[in-house]
Structure 1
């Protein structure tokens, strides 16, 4: 259940003000003594664009992964959860690609200064996958030095790794590319398939469709073993795992479920509550 109340789209003036209020690029996570806390690589900002300052709020909380939903409208990629929320001023370029490029330039080649590990940008396609991906590919090429790239059988890390989720029709054109600046978000059904981690580096699935436990009482041992088996299978192939539709209301049930995910070495914890997940991971000394 989302904690963020869906609001109307930001006006252009409001978006500009949000940018003015943002801390200087590259310094949002620095403390007064110059110490930079480690990025929280496990933290994933679900529906990031619904926060007051898309991208910037997640970066201020040091999240290592965030999610943007896109709709193809003409030749523009608009960011929203539902069609009625579409605003021509809220594009993937303006909310994510341009600010990330500026931040990487200011930070000398990384999203988090001093940390070369790529930020994960999960892009969820809401319109027809093949045509939307074709346009997205053109947008990613405009920022060719920003993104991790697959070229002729090799992966070349960049400051940001784009992973494509949503409409499954995007898979066909992606697999046909010999050079691409994006990777595919698999499902549990893809575990053990011939597709390598160089194409499917991430496995995401709905927690509620695969587990009955919601954090109340003891985690059933059969479900704990199922989770561990999933993680072993993914990690043996170099793939990471994320579950969505996990409990997200503050309280002992959410904490219990998050603790089990950490114990099983799940790679990304999904939330709308940026401060809540940051506090949890810091309390458990986990990044």
Structure 2
């Protein structure tokens, strides 16, 4: 749900992100004896922009992936959950691209200092996919050293990997490009299809459309086998797996389902509860 009241308090986010204050997670990464805890690469911040400090709160909780919904309004990409929440000051650049670029510069080439893993920016297109993707592509070109690139089928890793989700009409212009600074978020229907991991490195889908179990009682054996077959097939092709619409209330059912996802080696766990997922993954130590 939109947190409109909290959003309006962020009237000058660009100023708040300027200079060293744009990097508050730097201090949070320092653990005991000066060691930095490892990033939680499989932690995905669903609707990340709804938090009081978009991106920065997720970084403070060591998340490896964040999600931003974008609307093309004129020539601007505005970040919001619903059209009524659109705010001209909340652009993709101000909330994500500029602070990520500043952080990578400060950390000498990585989002998390000392950890060069693949931080993921999932961009969910809420307006017509083809035109919205083209606007996104123009912006990503301005940050060419920040993003993983696919050039003529060869993937050149960068500090941040942009993955495009949402409106499926983005697929055609993406497939037509010889050089891309973003990748496609496939669905289970794409699993085993012709699109290689260099185009669709991520397979995401709605949990409730494919599984009946919601974390209460025993996980049915046939559904556990189905989940593990999905992960096995994706990993054999070099693809990662994510499910949305999983339980996200602080109840035993959520932890039970998260436990099965971790046991099946699902790559991204979806949540709005940053502290809750951080605690869960710390306890399980398979992050």
The bucket for the TM-score relative to the shorter chain is: over 0.9
Pairwise CA distance, 1:19: 4.2
Pairwise CA distance, 1:153: 1.5
Which SS does the other structure have where 1:27 is aligned? Answer: helix
Distance in 1 separating the partners of 2:10 and 2:270: 29
Which SS does the other structure have where 1:229 is aligned? Answer: helix
Which SS does the other structure have where 1:123 is aligned? Answer: strand
Q: CA 1:17–1:150 in structure 2 vs 1: closer, same or farther (change >3 Å)? A: closer
Distance in 2 separating the partners of 1:203 and 1:118: 16
Match of 2:8 in 1: 10
Which SS does the other structure have where 2:27 is aligned? Answer: coil
Name structure 1 gaps, 5 residues minimum. Answer: none
Distance in 2 separating the partners of 1:274 and 1:7: 19
Asked if the contact 2:71/2:78 (under 8 Å) is kept, the reply is yes
Match of 1:252 in 2: 252
Pairwise CA distance, 1:190: 0.2
Asked if the contact 1:118/1:159 (under 8 Å) is kept, the reply is yes
Is it true that 1:202 corresponds to 2:202 in the alignment? yes
TM (norm. structure 2) is 0.95
Is it true that 1:58 corresponds to 2:58 in the alignment? yes
Aligned residues: 284
Q: CA 1:49–1:201 in structure 2 vs 1: closer, same or farther (change >3 Å)? A: same
Match of 1:141 in 2: 141
1:147-186 matches, within 5 Å, as: 147-186=147-186
Is it true that 1:93 corresponds to 2:93 in the alignment? yes
Name structure 2 gaps, 5 residues minimum. Answer: none
The C-alpha deviation readout for 1:157-211, integer Å capped at 9, x for no partner, is 0000000000000000000000010000000000010110000000000001110
Pairwise CA distance, 1:18: 5.4
Distance in 2 separating the partners of 1:128 and 1:236: 32
Distance in 1 separating the partners of 2:254 and 2:268: 15
Which SS does the other structure have where 1:282 is aligned? Answer: helix
Pairwise CA distance, 1:251: 1.4
Which SS does the other structure have where 2:138 is aligned? Answer: helix
Which SS does the other structure have where 1:43 is aligned? Answer: strand
Q: CA 1:24–1:273 in structure 2 vs 1: closer, same or farther (change >3 Å)? A: closer
Which SS does the other structure have where 2:70 is aligned? Answer: strand
RMSD over aligned Cα, in angstroms?
A: 1.6
1:1-287 matches, within 5 Å, as: 6-8=3-5, 9-11=7-9, 13=11, 15=13, 19=17, 24=24, 26-31=26-31, 33-287=33-287
Q: CA 1:106–1:251 in structure 2 vs 1: closer, same or farther (change >3 Å)? A: same
The C-alpha deviation readout for 1:81-131, integer Å capped at 9, x for no partner, is 000000000000000000000000000000001111120000000000000
Asked if the contact 1:165/1:185 (under 8 Å) is kept, the reply is yes
Higher relative contact order by CA 8 Å / sep ≥ 6: 1 or 2?
A: 1
Asked if the contact 1:26/1:111 (under 8 Å) is kept, the reply is no
Pairwise CA distance, 1:17: 7.5
Asked if the contact 1:206/1:244 (under 8 Å) is kept, the reply is yes
Which SS does the other structure have where 1:33 is aligned? Answer: helix
Asked if the contact 1:78/1:87 (under 8 Å) is kept, the reply is yes
Distance in 2 separating the partners of 1:219 and 1:155: 38
Asked if the contact 1:46/1:272 (under 8 Å) is kept, the reply is yes
Any runs of at least 4 consecutive aligned residues in structure 1 with deviations exceeding 6 A, and if so which?
Answer: none
Which SS does the other structure have where 1:122 is aligned? Answer: strand
Asked if the contact 1:12/1:89 (under 8 Å) is kept, the reply is no
Distance in 2 separating the partners of 1:7 and 1:33: 40
